[in-house]
Structure 1
């Protein structure tokens, strides 16, 4: 990992502010969703990208009942259901 040299303190509600330079560099805009991961003793933030609920695939996504499903998953389910061969 590359150090930015930027240090921020948590406020009384446990929040931090991401500097505008980082947000611009990483393409994170106002109200964008960030995903939070833990890697050992590190907290990792990544810009959230929706993915297929079954496979995690991020290509050709369709919204179904508020969930993201890829074209490949839809085809596989259609085969299982006997709709297509």
Structure 2
């Protein structure tokens, strides 16, 4: 992990502000979703990238009831259900 030298205090609501230079360097725009990960005493923020809920793949996604599923997973599920799909 690389130290940025930036220190921020939490406000009374538990929020922090990410410096504009850091957001620009990492390609994080206003209102971009961030994922939060915890590893022991470390908090990691990562720009959220939607992925297939079954495989984690990020290509060729379909939105189904608020969840992302790849076309490949849909075809495999159809096959597993005994359905014949012609493309």
- Identify the TM-score tier after normalising by the shorter chain: over 0.9
Per-residue deviation, 1:30: 0.4
Moved over 6 A (4+): none
Correspondence 1:23-38 to 2 at 5 A: 23-38=23-38
Residue 7 of structure 2 corresponds to 7
TM-score (norm 2): 0.91
Runs of 5+ consecutive residues of structure 2 not aligned to the other structure: none
Per-residue deviation, 1:72: 1.4
For the pair 1:68 / 2:72, whether they are aligned, the reply is no
Per-residue deviation, 1:65: 1.8
Per-residue deviation, 1:31: 0.5
Per-residue deviation, 1:84: 2.4
Residue 40 of structure 2 corresponds to 40
Q: Within 2, Cα distance between the matches of 1:27 and 1:14?
A: 24
Runs of 5+ consecutive residues of structure 1 not aligned to the other structure: none
Q: Within 2, Cα distance between the matches of 1:9 and 1:53?
A: 35
